[in-house]
Chain A
Amino acid sequence: MHISPNTKMSDLVQSDFELLAVLQRLKIPFGFKEKSIQTICREEGIDLNFFLNLARWYHERDFFPGETLMNHPVKWLVKYLRSTHSCYIEYHIPRIEEEIIRMESLDRSGGHNMQLMLKFFREYISEFTAHIQLEEEKIFPYILSLEENFEKETPAPEFLKTARGYTIKDFLDEHSDIEEKLVDLRNILLKYLAPPSDNCLFTNVLIEIFRLGNDLNDHTILEENVLIPQVIKMEKDFHNKFPR
């Protein structure tokens, strides 16, 4: 389906329900009635092209609108990514954890395999949380003030000091791979564990891990191919506008 401004929002979701994730992260409320994408974006204060670019990418998967997405204010993307973070932390991760706990409680095999999986996943949670914390507490605020100060006549002296001693490239070094462990967990469950008594539960955990994995992948693509290049460019412009 081709996604155009006049497409009805409800048709969009019906044709591809995975797009619900995008709507949720942009905090678009339900109750679409017969409204078009255009109307809903206007009502919610979301830039139409930003929405279209994201939705088309998630839907068609053929092209990545990196450069087009870079033309939008960086704060929109940051908002989107933050929303995604809270989705992981508040919903997906605890849910998978709960399901592994349930699997463990149902495991009658007498072994410790499920306990091991739980331990492994909890290790993953702490790594994951640290990763997100770094972004939320250090990186995103820096990006937002960079954009804000860039638009000013004279940047806040305090920020100017920060900007001259820091670049987003430092962040790249700290940006650890958060998908590897999850992929390992998935492979161990899929290949090396006999399913415990409740098969339905086991399958569901796998499905959820696959989903989270895919979602994290998209998240990383947005960060590494849009956000960071955009910030690097903005840093350059900033230093040109406010030379030492």
Chain B
Amino acid sequence: MGTPLIELTNVIKNFGPVDVLKGVNFTVEEGKVTALVGDNGAGKSTLIKGLSGVQPFDGGKVMFRGEEVNVRSPRQASAMGIEVVYQDLALCENLDIVQNMFLGREEKFGGTLDEAAMEFAAQKALQSLSVRTVKSVRQKVSSLSGGQRQTVAIARSVLRNAKMVILDEPTAALGVAQTEQVLNLVRRLADNGIAVLIISHNLADVFEVADNVSVLYLGQMVAHLKVKNTNRDEVVAYITGSKSMTGVA
């Protein structure tokens, strides 16, 4: 299997007296979709905030491609190739798709914006993900549907040469057809060699798109399962705490 892209060992995070992560072990592999599931308050958000540098971990070891790293800020995480697509997407609706995809990293040509190069790169990034749902890369984001916006937000991370993309509830607000489109996109992201970490409450989505599923229960990682070797009932049992596994690697 080789070394995983990210390997967490005994990671700890507490907020004052409250231990939110109590020694979590966790791995994410390149080219695979890893689902992180768990009930509310299990520590999923805290885990991704630690990975993305928003709220650094208090203890434990983070290995990135076999080397120990200490992620202290979102900028640093981004420089390493870790991109997060948050639930609220953070797009500017008055700007078009190209402008949003390059926001904060505009390409310049003689001191001015190089619209042509950005347009071309955005077009290629969307094509590499086989996106067919958007009509024009110069459409304003305000005219896009929820699924299309999600697509733009995900494609933006591809444009930034992400090695790992963390998706926070990417299908939470979407209808059936749009959920399908976004899940296909997630799959293609992994097929392109990117490590995808998807946080979801929707087990149907998890079973459709993920290769591995890890379950958090009250700040501890209680299970790492291969999706093809498990079933819904088992995952639910881990999430609710009615089943637990010891000695998880």
Judge: A and B partners, yes or no: no
Name A residues whose Cβ lies closer than 8 Å to a Cβ of B.
none
Name B residues whose Cβ lies closer than 8 Å to a Cβ of A.
none
